[in-house]
């Protein structure tokens, strides 16, 4: 039985037809009792509608529309230059800093159109955190790195030590650094630095975290730790990850989107995309024939 | 000769040419140091070292002549100090503006003007100071003469600015883009990013810029001589509004009128040695700070 058939079987209309609908006053009450659709409602963390992006005259993103579900790991795959990182960066408006970058279309987060004039970019970036390809800790102590975000957002001094501890624990780094919080962040290993950057992002309490190829500069062990961490983090956060590593996408993500030359070719459940690719290009890429 | 021999010969002669060039510089440096310090030692054969270092009077004309270093050192320090107070904030602010806030076109114009400022001969600046600044300061503070330490400081600040701006700007521009992006991605605004991430990351470069700027100011002669009044006195309560005489000005003014081999002649070398040590120290500190920057601490 397909999902659609299932949905129809449990619909209010079907219930009325079968006579069970009389037990309920209206559709909402029915759906509430059955609990089928209610779970899916407002489940999207981000909605993207007809997004186009140009760098000067070059169109880097072409009419992309998709939804990013809440509390899932969503991975973006595709060959270099396909626009997946650019797309990721539209969601916290990091492309704003690039000259000649022009954007059309809508991105909606929390019922707010983030490219509208009223949007406070600072507040948006607080809600949509980002972890970069190469770990970029600030040249200060481990503690100060994590405390940086809360401090600039005016969190009271009393709360900061506990936020730092919580964030480092959530990033699975606390045990390794708790005795040397005052030492420079740059003295940490590459993998630890990347987890510190994750902790730094968690410290501002985001809802969504964007990962831009977070493991591409790391060894397999550090990569494993970060993947484990993401699976843990999706309980509380919505995660989007750009990755070049197909295995990584299959291991950690619930959903996958495949991009090619600025177009969204396909997006859906990871298992579906990898096991049963409908599109020739997708199949070619994931089986390593090009990319 | 075979081709190979010709090639080897060419290689060797080029090597020796570069060697001579490199060693020549060091040789000249050693000669100057030797000369400076033997003449200085000659001075201390007839004049007490302690009296020189702690003397409050520089009076080569009196009998017995007095060669006290302190008024000259005070003159140099106060003029330079004033220049630092003026030039450092202006220099750093404009470096930040050029590197972080201005558009590419504005930055280009500003950078060229800074280079242009560095190219103005010091005599011209001194002349400008004498004609414009001296009367302005005289009337502004209601003084008998506008030739004061402050006037010297303003001129020196103008001269130190290009060094401070261009080196700090380099250091600020060298802060890796991912650091800035990391800060923006956490929701920091431009000012917070500049103040909390960029300046700390470029700190040693900025310090080196300041120190090199000071180095330039300490050794400057002509412009300062033209505007500071050249009175060898330790400034009292007027401080910046008093006439002063710097070490450099003293040497430039008096060297022409002293006979070679006299005590006065040697005294000027001793003062020159003090200046040399001062600038050497400043350059060493700047070097150490720059190395620290490169080490990425």
Cα–Cα distances in Å, from A228 out to A104, A158, A221, B83?
36, 31, 11, 58
In which band, very low, low, confident or very high, does the pLDDT at A21 lie, cut at 50, 70 and 90? low
> Among A139-148, B64-73, B286-295, which is the least confidently predicted range?
B286-295
Residue A281 confidence (pLDDT) above 90: no
Residue of B nearest to A96 (CA): B184
In which band, very low, low, confident or very high, does the pLDDT at A28 lie, cut at 50, 70 and 90? low
- Chain B hits for A198, CB-CB cut-off 8 Å, are none
B179 part of contact set with chain A, CB < 8 Å = yes
C-alpha A47/C-alpha A112 separation (Å) is 10
Residue A136, φ and ψ in degrees, nearest 5: -130, 60
In which band, very low, low, confident or very high, does the pLDDT at A7 lie, cut at 50, 70 and 90? low
For chain B, the structural domain boundaries read: 3-46, 58-296
Tell if the CB–CB gap between A152 and B296 is shorter than 8 Å: no
B256 part of contact set with chain A, CB < 8 Å = no
pLDDT at B294: 58
DSSP B15: H
B174 part of contact set with chain A, CB < 8 Å = no
* Mean pLDDT over the full length of chain A: 87
Beta bridge partners of A179: none
C-alpha B242/C-alpha B122 separation (Å) is 22
pLDDT at A1: 57
CATH architecture for segment(s) B58-296: Orthogonal Bundle (1.10)
Average the pLDDT over A98-126 and give the result.
90
User: How far does the CA of residue A125 sit from the closest CA of chain B (Å)?
Assistant: 5
pLDDT at A278: 77
In which band, very low, low, confident or very high, does the pLDDT at A277 lie, cut at 50, 70 and 90? confident
Average the pLDDT over A58-66 and give the result.
93
DSSP A184: B
pLDDT digits (tens, 9 = 90+) for A172-194: 999 999 999 999 999 999 999 99
Mutate to test the interface with B, among A152, A193, A207 (most CBs of B within 10 A): A152
pLDDT: which is higher, B296 or B46: B46
Residue A135, φ and ψ in degrees, nearest 5: -55, 130
Average the pLDDT over B78-97 and give the result.
94
In which band, very low, low, confident or very high, does the pLDDT at B257 lie, cut at 50, 70 and 90? confident
List the single residue in A125, A140, A186 with the smallest CB-CB distance to B185: A125
The model's pTM is 0.76
pLDDT at A39: 45
pLDDT at A37: 47
Tell if the CB–CB gap between A139 and B201 is shorter than 8 Å: yes
Average the pLDDT over A237-266 and give the result.
91
Q: At what angle do helices A142-152 and A190-202 cross, to 10 degrees?
A: 20
List the single residue in B178, B184, B296 with the smallest CB-CB distance to A125: B184
> Among A119-123, B203-207, B229-233, B240-244, which is the least confidently predicted range?
B229-233
Give the CB-side neighbour count of residue B221, counting CA atoms within 13 A. 10
H-run or E-run covering A64 = strand A58-69
Residues in chain A whose beta carbon is closer than 8 A to a beta carbon of chain B? Answer: 92, 94, 97, 122-126, 129-130, 132, 134, 136-140, 148-149, 152-153, 184, 186, 197, 200-201, 204
pLDDT digits (tens, 9 = 90+) for A37-61: 444 454 789 999 999 999 999 999 9
Asked if residue B118 lies in contact with residue B162, where contact means CB atoms within 8 angstroms, the answer is yes
Average the pLDDT over A164-172 and give the result.
93
Cα–Cα distances in Å, from A38 out to A26, A27, B185, B223?
14, 11, 34, 82
pLDDT digits (tens, 9 = 90+) for B124-140: 999 999 999 999 999 99
Average the pLDDT over B50-78 and give the result.
91
In which band, very low, low, confident or very high, does the pLDDT at B154 lie, cut at 50, 70 and 90? very high
pLDDT at A290: 62
Q: Give the ipTM.
A: 0.80
- The fraction of chain A above a pLDDT of 90, given in percent, is 58
C-alpha A25/C-alpha A217 separation (Å) is 58
> Among A25-34, A140-149, B154-163, B282-291, which is the least confidently predicted range?
A25-34
CA-based diameter of chain A, in Å? 70
Residue B149 confidence (pLDDT) above 80: yes
Cβ neighbours of A195 (radius 10 Å): 28
Residues 6+ positions from A276 with CB-CB distance below 8 Å: none
């Amino acid at each position: 039985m397909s999902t659609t058939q299932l949905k129809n079987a449990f619909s209010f209309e079907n219930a009325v037809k079968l006579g069970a609908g009389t037990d309920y006053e209206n559709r909402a009450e029915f759906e509430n009792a059955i609990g089928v659709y209610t779970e899916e409602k407002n489940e999207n963390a981000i909605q993207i509608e007809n997004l186009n992006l140009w760098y000067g005259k070059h169109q880097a993103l072409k009419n992309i529309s998709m939804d990013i579900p809440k509390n899932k790991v969503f991975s973006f795959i595709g060959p270099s230059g396909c626009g997946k990182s650019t797309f990721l960066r539209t969601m916290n408006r990091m492309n704003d800093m690039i000259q000649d970058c022009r954007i059309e279309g809508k991105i909606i987060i929390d019922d707010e159109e983030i490219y509208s004039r009223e949007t406070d970019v600072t507040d948006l970036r607080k809600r949509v955190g980002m972890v970069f390809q190469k770990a970029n800790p600030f040249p200060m102590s481990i503690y100060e790195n994590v405390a940086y975000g809360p401090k600039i957002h005016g969190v009271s001094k009393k709360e900061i030590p506990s936020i730092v501890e919580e964030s480092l624990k959530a990033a699975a780094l606390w045990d390794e650094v708790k005795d040397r919080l005052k030492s420079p962040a740059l003295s940490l290993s590459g993998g630890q630095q990347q987890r510190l950057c994750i902790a730094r992002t968690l410290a501002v309490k985001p809802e969504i975290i964007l990962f831009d190829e977070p493991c591409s500069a790391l060894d397999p062990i550090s990569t494993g730790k970060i993947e484990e961490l993401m699976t843990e983090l999706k309980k509380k956060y919505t995660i989007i990850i750009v990755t070049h590593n197909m295995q990584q996408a299959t291991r950690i993500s619930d959903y996958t989107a495949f991009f090619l030359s600025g177009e969204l070719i396909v997006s859906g459940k990871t298992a579906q995309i990898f096991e049963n690719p409908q599109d020739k290009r997708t199949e070619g890429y994931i089986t390593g024939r090009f990319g | 000769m075979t081709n190979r021999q010709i090639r080897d010969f060419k290689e060797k002669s080029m090597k020796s040419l570069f060697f001579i060039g490199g060693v020549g510089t060091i040789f000249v440096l050693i000669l100057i140091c030797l000369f400076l310090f033997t003449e200085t030692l000659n001075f201390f054969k007839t004049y007490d070292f302690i009296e020189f270092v702690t003397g409050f009077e520089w009076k080569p004309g009196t009998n017995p002549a007095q060669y006290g270093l302190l008024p000259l050192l005070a003159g140099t320090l106060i003029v330079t100090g004033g220049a630092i107070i003026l030039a450092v904030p202006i220099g750093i602010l404009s470096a930040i503006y050029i590197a972080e806030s201005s558009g590419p076109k504005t930055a280009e114009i500003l950078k060229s003007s800074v280079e242009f400022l560095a190219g103005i001969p010091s005599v011209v600046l001194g002349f400008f100071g004498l004609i414009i600044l001296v009367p302005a300061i005289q009337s502004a503070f209601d003084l008998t003469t506008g030739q004061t330490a402050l006037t010297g400081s303003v001129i020196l600040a103008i001269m130190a600015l290009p060094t401070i701006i261009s080196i700090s700007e380099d250091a600020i521009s060298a802060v890796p883009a991912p650091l800035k992006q990391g800060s923006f991605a956490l929701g920091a605004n431009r000012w917070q990013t500049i103040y909390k991430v960029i300046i700390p990351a470029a700190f040693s470069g900025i310090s080196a810029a300041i120190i090199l700027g000071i180095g330039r100011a300490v050794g400057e002669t002509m412009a300062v001589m033209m505007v500071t009044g050249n009175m060898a006195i330790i400034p009292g309560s007027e401080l910046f509004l008093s006439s002063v005489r710097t070490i450099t000005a003293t040497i430039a003014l008096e060297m022409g009128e002293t006979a070679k081999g006299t005590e006065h002649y040697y005294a000027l070398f001793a003062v020159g040695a003090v200046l040399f040590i001062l600038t050497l120290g400043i350059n060493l500190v700047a070097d150490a700070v720059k190395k620290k920057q490169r080490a990425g601490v």
